[in-house]
Amino acid sequence: MMSIFITTLVLILPLYISTQETCPKEYLRFTPEHSFCKPPNPSCQFVVKGMISKEKSKEIVEIHNRLRNKIAVGEENTCWWASNCI
């Protein structure tokens, strides 16, 4: 019986520890299988960090803030209502 416990512990503990190190508690509370808890896919070419200039980044943030402000003050009503995604 003790060998089953030790075998189980040896197999499960590394998974638990690696999940704890890489996945914040706010995501673990939903499920350890949350997409944030998974390692990056090495074949994914969609997200490449550092590919836009600071000027372009600032422009994107300014456009985002303008649109967000229009929605906040009721000038933009073509968007869907927000909902709880969790």
User: Nearest CA to 37 among 45, 49, 47, 29?
Assistant: 29
Domain match, 1 and 34 both: yes
Q: Is residue 6 part of a domain?
A: yes
CB atoms within 10 A of CB 82: 7
Q: On the CB side of 70, how many CA atoms lie within 13 Å of its CA?
A: 11
5 is written with which tokens? 């416990």
Q: Which domain range does residue 30 map to? A: 1-39
The pLDDT assigned to 64 comes to 93
Q: Is residue 44 part of a domain?
A: no
Residue 61 lies in a domain: yes
Tokens of 22: 């890489």
Mean pLDDT, 10 residues at a time, over the chain (86 residues)?
Answer: 65 56 78 81 69 86 91 76 62
Q: Which pLDDT score, from 0 to 100, does residue 47 have?
A: 59
First to last CA, the chain: 41
Q: Are residues 6 and 27 in the same domain?
A: yes
Q: Extract the tokens encoding 43.
A: 């074949």
Determine the pLDDT at residue 84.
Answer: 62
